[in-house]
Chain A
Amino acid sequence: MATKGMNLCNVCCLLLYVITAVLAGRDFYQILGVSKSASIRDIKKAYRKLALQLHPDRNPDDPKAQDKFADLGAAYEVLSDEEKRKQYDTYGEDGLKEGHHGSHNDIFSSFFGDFGFMFGGNRQQQDRNIPRGNDITLDLEVTLEEVYSGNFVEVVRVKPVAKEAPGKRKCNCRQEMRTTQLGPGRFQMTQEMVCDECPNVKLVNEERTLEVEIEQGVRDEMEYPFIGEGEPHIDGEPGDLRFRIKVLKHPLFERRGDDLYTNVTISLVEALIGFEMDIVHLDGHKVHIVRDKITKPGARMWKKGEGLPNFDNINIRGSLIITFDVEFPQTQLDEPQKEALIKMFLSLGIQALKRHS
C-alpha cells in the first residue's frame, strides 16, 4: 500500500517538475554553472571561462555548439543586468519583459575583442598584404588583493571607426616606376605615386566597454589581448590592444612566486612565554597563530595553503611565511630595575645571564 502511494507521489512530482521545467524556460544559473547568490564578478568569471570553451569555432564537430553558445550569451545578458536578473528570478525566462537586446557578439567582444575571433590570441593572417594598425600595449596596475581574489576591470575604449562618407578617396597609395618615351630610342624612368580609388570613409569616435579579468594568481608581465581593439588602419585591419599586468608592491605582504612573506613584531615577554594572535589576510579572513614556545628574533613560521593561488591551478596555494621580530623595551632600565631583573632570572633558574665569565 505504502509503495503504491509513494510511486504515485513520485510520478506526480516528476510530472510537476517536467511541467515547470518546460514552462520556466532555460536555467541560466545552471548554464553558467553558478549559484543563485553568485556575485556579478562570479558571473563574469564563469562567462569568460565558458565562452572560450563553448565557442563554435572551437567545437566544429558539435552540431549543438551554436545553440549552447547562444544559451550562454542569453544567460550572461540576463544575469549580468540587475533589473533583468530580478525579473528572471521572480518570473523565469518567460517573465522577461523585452527580447534580447545586444547580440551575443557584442557581449563576447567586450571580453575578448572585436575583429573576428582567432584562438590563442594570435592572428592567422590569410593575406599578409593587408596593412594593419599598430598594437597598443598598456600597463594595468593591480593590487595584491586583486591577485589573491581576482577582479574584473571595466574599461571604456574610445576609438575611431571608419564610417561611409560621400565621394571617393585615394587609397593603397604606392610608388611605382613609370617608363616614358622621350623620343626614338630614348626612354626615361621616373618614380610616380599611384593610388587606387576607394569609397570615401571618415573616422568617427565610438566607445564601448571592455571587461578585463584579473585572474587569481596572475603574474607580473602577463598580457591579456583584445583582438582588433588597437589602432585602426584606414586601408586595412585594426591592431590589437594588450593589457600588461603590473603587480603593485604591498605594504604588508611580499610576493615570491605563490608564497607570501610578512613580518610580525612581538614583545620581549611574548618572545619568552609565547602568544596567540590573528593576522588579517588579503581578503579579510583571519589567520590564527598560536605559539607556546620561545620565539627567537628572525624565527619563521610556515602556514601552508595561506599563500597565493597558483595561476595554472587555483586549487593549489602557496604558503604564508611569517618572520618574527622581537621588540625590546624603548626606555633604558634604571638601576633598581636592572637589579630586580638579575634577581628574578637567578631565582627562576632561567639561563639568561652571563655567557662568558
Chain B
Amino acid sequence: MGNLGSGCAVLPRSLPTILILLSCVFGLSLGTELSFVTCGSVLKLLNIKHNVRLHSHDVRYGSGSGQQSVTGVTAVEDSNSYWSVRGTSDALCHRGTPVKCEQTIRLTHVNTGRNLHSHYFASPLSSNQEVSAFGDEGEGDHLDEWTVLCGGSVWKREEAVRFRHKATDALLSVTGEQYGRPIHGQREVHAMSSPSQHSLWKAMEGIFMKPSENPMGSRDYSHLHTEF
C-alpha cells in the first residue's frame, strides 16, 4: 500500500528532505505489485457513489426479461461478487494482458458463468435500462460487450472507471433504489445514457493476473487459420 505520509507535502529544502520526498514517490509506486487490471483477472467492482459491489446470484428478475438479476450489495465478503475480465468472442485477450482504455471486454460472473448483459428492457424499480446476467459457461451474445472508459492508456486499479454497453451506449450505474424480499437491501443496478457520479466504478478485492513470460518457443499464430 502506498505510504501517503505528511512527508510528501514538505518542500525540498535540503538533501534529507529530497530523499524523503523521493522515497515517498517510490513508496507510492512500489506499494503495489500490479497497478493495472489484466485479462483473466477476477475482481469485485465497487460503485463509488453508493459503496456497493456488483453482484449476481441465481435469482431471476420478476419482470422485464426474466433473466438472472444483477444487483449491488453492501457486504465486502461475498463470493457472489466476483467477475472475470475477459476479451470478446471476436477479440481474445490473453491472460495477463493489461486492459486498455476504450477496449471492449466481457465481465463473466464467476459463480454462475453468466456474462454482464444489457438490452432494451425496463429495470424493475427505476425503469432505467435493465442489466442482467446472461449466457452459459461464459458464452452469451454480442449484448455482453462493454467498453471500459478510463483516463489514461490502461485500466488502473486505483482509478474510477465507467462501463459503456457497446450495443446501446448506456453506462452501468446505481442510483440507490433498494429491493425488498428475498434480496432485501440490495440495490438496483441498471444502465443509463448520461454519465454521472452514479456510473463510476473501481476495481477492489480479487485475484489479478500478472503478465507472464511465454515459455521458450511460443509464437504468434494470428496470421494462420486453424486446420482443424
Contact = CB atoms under 8 A, between A and B. Distances in A.
Contact of B224 (A139, A155, A233, A252): A252
Interface string A175-209: 00000000000000000000000000001011101
A150 interface: yes
A143 interface: yes
Interface residues of B, number: 36
Interface residues of A, number: 50
B40 A141 contact: yes
A156 B34 contact: yes
B162 to A, nearest CB: 21
B212 A151 contact: yes
B76 interface: yes
A233 B215 contact: no
B84 A231 contact: no
Main secondary structure of the interface of B (DSSP, over half): loop
B110 A133 contact: no
B203 to A, nearest CB: 9
B227 interface: yes
B79 A136 contact: yes
A146 interface: yes
Interface string B184-228: 000000000000000000001111111011111111010011111
Main secondary structure of the interface of A (DSSP, over half): strand
A272 B221 CA distance: 30
Contacts of A66: none
A140 B210 CA distance: 12
A232 B219 CA distance: 40
Interface string B72-115: 00001111001010000000000110000000000000100000
B42 interface: yes
Interface in A128-147: 133-143, 145-146
B224 A153 contact: no
A138 B212 CA distance: 18
Interface of B: 1, 32-34, 40, 42, 76-79, 82, 84, 95-96, 110, 204-210, 212-219, 221, 224-228
Given A140-B95, A284-B217, 11 more contacts: A133-B79, A138-B84, A139-B84, A153-B96, A153-B209, A154-B33, A158-B208, A160-B77, A205-B204, A210-B207, A251-B225
